[in-house]
A and B are shown apart, each in its own frame.
Chain A
């Protein structure tokens, strides 16, 4: 990790944004982190609240995240979800009938399995007496699944929850046009040959044009990449900065993968294919190679390219959430507490991807923490430009005062604590499943690096956002 940080450092002589952060921070910080990680744990308070049940993550897993169109391409979404659930069962050995409720997040729904949580749970061998439902909230769908579970436990409705998420971008529902659908539905009702023939006579060739789902805002019709490019421009984030950040993400992910840090990944034997054991989107390239790419959305002068955007991904994740006393009674050693969380939303046109900027100060305030208290940041990386724009927004008093109604900025996260094991840019981003990966990465990093608090944040389509505090479970 050190080498990579220095690498980045060296490569930023002119755009000294990151360098500046280094120099401004107390000299000790990063070296301390390297030298004696355990020493980092000061005597911080715990975030337990009176009259509120402590909620813990026992463990969480995910199947490898793959670029869409690769090994998972012939499967259905519930197959992936089932694999994640099986992996969780295997990892935790939780008795199936103990699970009170199962919740999954997903974004692009397979019409046949619209409640994919239930189909996957049945297939994974959970008790058919365990209810399951599916939630959707764009890229924070899995976060919504987790926090829904937190709500059920906190209110005393449940003790044991399985939350997860799934996305299969290799296959998306492509529909007949509305005209064609209308004709087909009317055809169903037509009783006589004459009625049918008269319906057929209305058929026009253009009825056959299919309707494709788009990663575009319904409200503004703008694709997310286009919005990200405008966002980067609004915050004057250069193409080079974006490429460098993407390279950092890939390099860190590669290192984490090589060192076996991505312990949440469980192997998946794909029917008819080899067992998949690793994420396949991690591809550290060079800045020169990346600089050759043409802009993907705003042509020809935009800055967002295929290399500095997250790619279309297939994957699923699942985690076991319990009330603390239940986990302890069952003899588990939990990994982390799930603490305060917030959802935010803002203008879906010009601030589509600024969710983390709005959510971070809010959740910190709620938990009574400051940026300095956070040891591990895990932010969802939709685009390099989006992450860097969020950094700039978080670091701007002007933005805080004029758009967030706050007196001062919250400050941008120190890079050495930020997405140290890679992020959505490199590991991949199966829309519905990313939330659980973020929380598990924070929890695992806190265990490994010895910090106490992790901050998870993500943006989502619709101009929404989410943040949550993860607290390490005492060893």
Chain B
């Protein structure tokens, strides 16, 4: 939760929020210090309303750090003390951001839980004073308002605390978090963003005046719990201890089920709320700050903060701006991937051609894009008009018409080298000189694809993950011949598509597929050793993987998995061995291709949610059964056999220079392959768990299975010198 408090956006609408404040006390007016310039906060007085403007210097967002906090308290104290001021408005001078939450660097720099507890208590005091303000305070929020930022405006709501999700303004109004919405303005005599903030301030000042003159009253009168309940009846029910216990239990159960006990924060939050309700708010606040302090020192916190920083890094184009911005895209192949890439392109305003070989295939792809957009209409994230106008960026066709205008062609045809060669040659005959040819492949080496190209410097790999509109990662693969400008352009397009990007060197399986392959091989072996798919899934998800290992094979597609393991098996030999590819081959021959064919390890039916094991698999598994080795087959061993093979391969990718940085390795594994986020990625995992422990595990399994588990040199180096860390 700490990390996910980071940045987001309350898009579309701005909001203003009133804190209800009962009394009004005059205090003696002190000095002229209002004129003093501060770094983060300034305020001016309009009539009897103080307008407090938050504007952290040299930053796109305002974050709650020590200076901002202390300046804020200073200003508020002056406001409370002044008898000329009867109410206050809090507003950010940054368009699109109120306060993005606590400053992660501030928390990360704390060495002990006590330090964090202290920080947290200071924050609490600030919020408490604000809540008990004698003068009405209106928070005028435009854009991101998360975590502590939200608390400045709002006493946080139950639901929100748990999931740390971003909520849209109109929902915030419905949830009772904000009182008024102010629609963004169009152009007037100034740029729209500037005028909108001014207008928001004007409206907020009117409200503040109205509140202090008692002309406006706020209907809402809800505390922590009331916000989450919705009728008087539930309020009453909450006053009965027995009912409360039941509710705590239910919430806890739900949280445990969702987090599998891997994330400590949500449960502690429940504890804190419980303490607050049962023992009063003082005890609640104390417990909150202590628990918060403890949480920030956990491995999970470190892992998530690391991921947050990594993600920020991978959202930047370190190759600079490309010479020519790609505006016209052409995608070859309207399959699941091609259509997915088209969807994330058209909704960012890229003119996109979707080409397929058959009308039926093209129609399916167009329908996929339309459905993706239409689902957003159903969720009210888009209007039907916006959907239509976005959809008009897509041109579906069967020929190469218009390719002469394309800035980038992304091919997503079937994973077959000769087919890729054919389309590359065809495309190069029609595209302009500057056009980039990107190949969306999960395993075929890009230099082999580029072998037939007339201009290999324009050929690059762009490995998207399925489903493209949901998976954030894009793995960009450069060959030795790929030019820097080509890379810059591919990264720019990926960023525009909203992707988190890692750039890796070419090689069999690149980075992601290469890490996954040995783990998949181990999955097969474990299944052959007689572990039920359901059991295997439970073991992997309880380790933190979002999708169980057997389910993952079904999702990826058994035929794809077979293809990849054969290809990489050839490239890496015995090291990628383990389970028998024969298992996958037999599945393919029986038509068990996973979700797409309705059957794999499980049976998939439209509209049926619960998954049933495909009993036809029993025969195949029985015929390929191998005896399990009892000393490495405990539940924990099974989990670690999977994870250590993954981690070992990842470290080897860094060792071989496939990966440029461990950060990209972590981001790729977490965002592309679902490596447990609570572990922070394979490299963070080695750091936090200790390289020696990993090597010890690998050695144990090596003794049982051989070279597949031999730790790589870089890992051994880290184990032998404990000071060596991937992240300092």
A140 to chain B, nearest CB (A): 21
Alpha-carbon distance A218/B388, docked complex (angstroms): 12
Q: Check B637 for interface membership: any CB of A closer than 8 A.
A: no
Contact between chains at B186 and A231 (CB < 8 Å): yes
Contacts of B206 in A (CB 8 A): 301
Q: Check A35 for interface membership: any CB of B closer than 8 A.
A: no
Among listed A130-138, A196-204, A344-352, interface-contacting one: A344-352
Contact between chains at A350 and B383 (CB < 8 Å): no
Q: Check A389 for interface membership: any CB of B closer than 8 A.
A: yes
Q: Check A33 for interface membership: any CB of B closer than 8 A.
A: no
Contact between chains at B188 and A234 (CB < 8 Å): yes
Contact between chains at B186 and A351 (CB < 8 Å): yes
Alpha-carbon distance A18/B188, docked complex (angstroms): 19
* Residue in chain A with minimal CB distance to B207: A301
Contact between chains at A233 and B189 (CB < 8 Å): no
Contact between chains at A403 and B187 (CB < 8 Å): yes
A338 to chain B, nearest CB (A): 32
Q: Check A219 for interface membership: any CB of B closer than 8 A.
A: yes
Q: Check A298 for interface membership: any CB of B closer than 8 A.
A: yes
B141 to chain A, nearest CB (A): 16
**CB 8 Å contact bits of A213-244 with B (1 = contact, 0 = none):** 00000111100001000110111100000000
Contacts of B313 in A (CB 8 A): none
Contact between chains at A398 and B383 (CB < 8 Å): no
Alpha-carbon distance A367/B517, docked complex (angstroms): 74
Contacts of A298 in B (CB 8 A): 183
Alpha-carbon distance A260/B192, docked complex (angstroms): 45
Q: Check B385 for interface membership: any CB of A closer than 8 A.
A: yes
Contact between chains at A234 and B186 (CB < 8 Å): yes
Contact between chains at A301 and B180 (CB < 8 Å): yes
Alpha-carbon distance A230/B188, docked complex (angstroms): 10
Contact between chains at A230 and B207 (CB < 8 Å): no
Alpha-carbon distance A301/B206, docked complex (angstroms): 8
The A-contacting residues of B in range 181-206, CB under 8 angstroms, are 183, 185-192, 195, 199, 203, 206
* Residue in chain A with minimal CB distance to B203: A301
Contacts A230-B185, A301-B206; A220 near B190 (Cβ below 8 A): no
Contact between chains at B199 and A233 (CB < 8 Å): yes
A171 to chain B, nearest CB (A): 28
Q: Is the interface of B mostly helix, strand, loop or mixed?
A: loop
Contact between chains at B186 and A347 (CB < 8 Å): yes
Alpha-carbon distance A392/B188, docked complex (angstroms): 8
Contacts A234-B188, A301-B203, A389-B188; A220 near B385 (Cβ below 8 A): yes
Contacts A233-B199, A234-B192; A351 near B385 (Cβ below 8 A): no
Q: Check A396 for interface membership: any CB of B closer than 8 A.
A: yes
Contact between chains at B385 and A396 (CB < 8 Å): no
The A-contacting residues of B in range 407-454, CB under 8 angstroms, are none
* Residue in chain B with minimal CB distance to A222: B183
Contact between chains at B207 and A219 (CB < 8 Å): no
Contacts of B191 in A (CB 8 A): 402
Alpha-carbon distance A403/B189, docked complex (angstroms): 10
B707 to chain A, nearest CB (A): 64
B494 to chain A, nearest CB (A): 29
Contacts of A236 in B (CB 8 A): 188-189, 195, 199
Contact between chains at A218 and B189 (CB < 8 Å): no
Contacts A231-B186, A234-B186, A399-B187; A221 near B383 (Cβ below 8 A): yes
* Residue in chain A with minimal CB distance to B186: A350
Contacts of B203 in A (CB 8 A): 301
A461 to chain B, nearest CB (A): 14
Contacts of B199 in A (CB 8 A): 233-234, 236
* Residue in chain A with minimal CB distance to B185: A234
The A-contacting residues of B in range 5-43, CB under 8 angstroms, are none
Contact between chains at A402 and B186 (CB < 8 Å): no
Contact between chains at B385 and A350 (CB < 8 Å): no
Contacts A219-B385, A220-B385, A301-B203; A398 near B186 (Cβ below 8 A): no
Contact between chains at A234 and B187 (CB < 8 Å): yes
**CB 8 Å contact bits of A372-408 with B (1 = contact, 0 = none):** 0000000000000000010011001011001100000
Alpha-carbon distance A289/B188, docked complex (angstroms): 29
Contacts A218-B385, A221-B383, A301-B207; A349 near B186 (Cβ below 8 A): yes
Alpha-carbon distance A276/B531, docked complex (angstroms): 90
* Residue in chain A with minimal CB distance to B199: A233
Contact between chains at A350 and B192 (CB < 8 Å): yes
Contacts A221-B383, A301-B203; A230 near B186 (Cβ below 8 A): yes
> Can you list 13 A-B contacts (CB < 8 A)?
A226-B183, A231-B186, A233-B185, A234-B187, A234-B188, A234-B195, A234-B199, A235-B188, A236-B189, A347-B186, A349-B186, A350-B185, A350-B187
Which 10 A-B pairs give the minimum distances between C-beta atoms?
A: A350-B186, A234-B188, A234-B185, A219-B385, A235-B188, A301-B203, A233-B199, A396-B189, A234-B186, A230-B185
Tell me the A residues contacting B by CB distance below 8 Å. 218-221, 226, 230-231, 233-236, 298, 300-301, 347, 349-351, 389, 392-393, 396, 398-399, 402-403
